[in-house]
């Protein structure tokens, strides 16, 4: 059974940093792209970042470009999201996700492009 477990969330002041991790188990995802989404209270879940199966291609939402960095360690079946210069508007539950199929070359910006999801980790940024 596939499981994705996020960790690393918490409370931080504006301008601070956090590093989220998402550990996958149940299968190997070295051939799958992975992504991060976030959902603020009362809002829809939105795309944050995506990394392809090799780690050589990354995509970011405009709102986080230059502040967030997605990376992966295929040996550990883990994807990371380094978040710097955090802002109050970054406050949300952050979810990691895995592509619906291997070697997927789509944009990865839509939720329906992903088949597996974690339970989410809360990030709160105070001003």
What pLDDT sits at residue 121? 98
What tens digit of pLDDT does each residue of 3-58 get?
Answer: 999 999 999 999 999 999 999 999 889 999 999 999 999 999 999 999 999 999 99
Q: Is the dihedral of CA 84, 89, 93, 94 positive or negative?
A: negative
What tens digit of pLDDT does each residue of 55-87 get?
Answer: 999 999 999 999 999 999 999 999 999 999 999
SS3 79: strand
What pLDDT sits at residue 28? 85
- Percentage of the chain lying above the pLDDT 70 cut: 100
Q: In whole angstroms, give the CA distance from residue 65 to residue 9.
A: 19
What pLDDT sits at residue 1? 84
β-sheet bridge partners, residue 21: 7, 80
What pLDDT sits at residue 69? 98
């Amino acid at each position: 059974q596939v499981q994705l477990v996020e960790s690393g969330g918490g409370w931080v002041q504006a301008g601070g940093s956090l590093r989220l991790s998402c550990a996958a188990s149940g299968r190997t995802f070295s051939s799958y792209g992975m992504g991060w989404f976030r959902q603020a209270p009362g809002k829809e879940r939105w795309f944050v970042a995506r990394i392809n199966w090799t780690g050589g291609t990354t995509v970011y939402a405009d709102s986080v470009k230059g502040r967030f960095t997605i990376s992966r360690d295929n040996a550990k079946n883990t994807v990371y999201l380094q978040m710097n210069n955090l802002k109050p508007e970054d406050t949300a539950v952050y979810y990691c996700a895995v592509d619906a199929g291997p070697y997927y070359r789509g944009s990865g910006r839509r939720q329906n492009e992903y088949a597996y999801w974690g339970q989410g980790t809360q990030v709160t940024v105070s001003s």
